[in-house]
Each structure stands twice: as C-alpha cells, then as structure tokens.
Amino acid sequence: MLHKTLGNNKEIMNKSSVALLILLLFVIDQAIKIYVKTHFYYGEEYFVFGLDWFRLHFLENPGMAWGFKFGEGYLAKFVLILFRFVAVIWGTFYIKKMIREGYAKVFVICAAFIYAGALGNLIDGAFYGLIFEKSDPAVQNVAEIFPSGGGYAGFLNGNVVDMWFLPIIDTRLPEWLPFWGGNQFTFFDPVFNTADVWISTGVILLLIFQSQQKKDQKISENKKLKYTEGNRKIINND
C-alpha cells in the first residue's frame, strides 16, 4: 500500500505539474513513433552512434508491451485496446486521488510514467490504422501519414510501433551446453518502444521506493518500541 509520504519527503505535485509531465512523456513517445513510421521501411535497422548493441529496428506489434501478444485476431486486439482504455480512465481518477490526498511526489511521478506509457500505446492501437499507410515488408515502402487512400486498418485495429532493440549479448551457445547447446542466444531480444520504457520505469521505481518506504516504517516502529520500553524501565526504577 502506498502512503502519502516517503520518509521526510513531503513534497507533493499539483495537477498542472503532473499534466505537464504526462504530456511531455506522451509527446516524446509519439514523436519517435511517427518519425520511425514515416522514415523507416518495415524491418529497417539503424545502428545508433554506430553501436552494435544499440539499434533502431522498426517493427509493428499487434499485441502488448515488449512484443508480447494477447491472442490472435480482431477480438483479441479489441479486448486489449479495451483493457488499455479502461486502465487509462482508471489511471486518470487514481492520479487525481493521489494529488488530492497529498501522496509523496515520487509516487505521483511513477504513476505519471505508467499512465503516459499506457496512453501512448492506446493511441497507437486506436488511431494509427486510420492515419498511416501500411508498412509492407515485401515492398519495403516507407509509410505515408494521412494517405489519400486511407489508412491500413480501422478504428481500434492499428498496430503499436516498436523500434528500440538492445542486443547487448548476441552469441552462439557452446555445443556442450545441455538442451540449448549450439543455439543462438540474444539478450535483450524483444523490440520495444518508448511507451514501454515509461511503463517499466514507473513500475520499477515504484517497487524500489515502496520497498524503501517499508524499511523506513520498520525502522521508525523499532525506534518507537525502544523509546516505549526505555520509558517503562525508567518508571519501574522509580
């Protein structure tokens, strides 16, 4: 359970600051996606700063974050988009609640990161099919935005644009290794987008600070217990 303060940190954020942070994160995510969609053909790859392990690799994902899928077909995609929509609506009210009740600044920031990421991927699935030309890997075309012939899919049936690929380890496993010997091993393998980064950052920081909060509470409770026991001894000696 999240509490209103973390240790001595009693800074809180107002609605304008939170809205500005969410807007900034959302714009960064959408700007990168639109640039990649309109400048790369499907499957095209670019080595950032010439680094082999830091790449832009354009793919489109019909499913969830980090390339995972939520079943197949229109129904599965519709359920996923509906889930994202409900999550964003719920997140709107929850962030308002956090601000109103004076939650610690760090928790509100974490929630804003998660919210911005969810909103970014929701927009992809809801509208990208309407406003973009299809990126066809067979012809390696660069998609046009607002094409005269219309988009590649209907409302709520678009794909999420992914682009970040970080194969920090890319090697072939030794033959003597049981089960996986001789197989190609890549870490980190999934291609993801900036919205996924926002969501993961928010969740990870939330877990870290929540764990720290529990430690601080335990230390505070132990101090109170020692103080109470010390007072009892003084009273008994008297």
Contact 163/197 with Cβ under 8 angstroms? no
Count of C-beta atoms within a 10 Å radius of residue 133 = 19
State yes or no: pLDDT of 9 exceeds 60: no
User: Is residue 170 among the annotated active site residues?
Assistant: no
- Does residue 238 carry a catalytic annotation? no
User: 136, 162, 189, 216: which is the annotated catalytic residue?
Assistant: 162
- If one compares 60 and 219, the residue with the highest pLDDT of the two is 60
Question: How far apart, in whole angstroms, are the C-alpha atoms of residue 149 and residue 69?
Answer: 29
**Token match 């335990």: residue?**
218
User: pLDDT per residue over 101-134, tens digit each?
Assistant: 989 899 999 999 999 999 999 999 999 999 999 9
CA dihedral 143, 144, 147, 151 (to 10 degrees): 40
Contact between residue 156 and residue 125 where contact means Cβ atoms under 8 Å apart = yes
**Active-site choice (52, 196, 216, 238):** 196
Q: Is the N-terminal amide bond of 209 cis, ω within 30° of 0?
A: no
Q: Quick: pLDDT tens for 39-50.
A: 999 999 999 999
Instruction: Give residue 115's Cα distance to chain centre.
Output: 8
In the structure, what pLDDT confidence band is assigned to residue 6 with cuts at 50, 70 and 90? Answer: very low
Looking at the DSSP assignment, which residues form a beta bridge with residue 172? 184
Contacts for 85 with CB less than 8 Å, ≥ 6 apart: 122, 126
Cα separation, 25 vs 32, in Å, equals 11
Q: What is the pLDDT of residue 234?
A: 54
Q: How confident is the model at residue 151 (pLDDT cuts 50, 70, 90)?
A: very high
- Which one has a higher pLDDT value, 145 or 237? 145
Sign of the four-CA dihedral 33, 35, 36, 41: positive
How do the domains of the chain map onto residue ranges? Answer: 15-237
Question: Positive or negative, the Cα torsion across 18, 21, 205, 187?
Answer: positive
Predicted confidence (pLDDT) at residue 164 exceeds the cutoff of 60 = yes
Tell me how long the chain is: 238
Long-range contact list for 48-54, CB < 8 A, 24+ apart?
A: 52/167, 52/170, 53/166, 53/167, 53/168, 53/170, 54/166
Beta carbons of 118 and 88 less than 8 angstroms apart: yes
Of the given ranges (29-33, 71-75, 140-144, 199-203), which has the lowest mean pLDDT? 71-75
Q: Answer whether residue 71 shows pLDDT above 80.
A: no
Contact (Cβ atoms closer than 8 angstroms) between residue 56 and residue 63: no
Distance CA 174, CA 154 (A): 47
pLDDT of residue 226: 59
**pLDDT value at position 209?**
87
Please state the rounded mean pLDDT for residues 86-99: 94
Helices (H), the chain: 15-39, 73-100, 105-131, 194-237
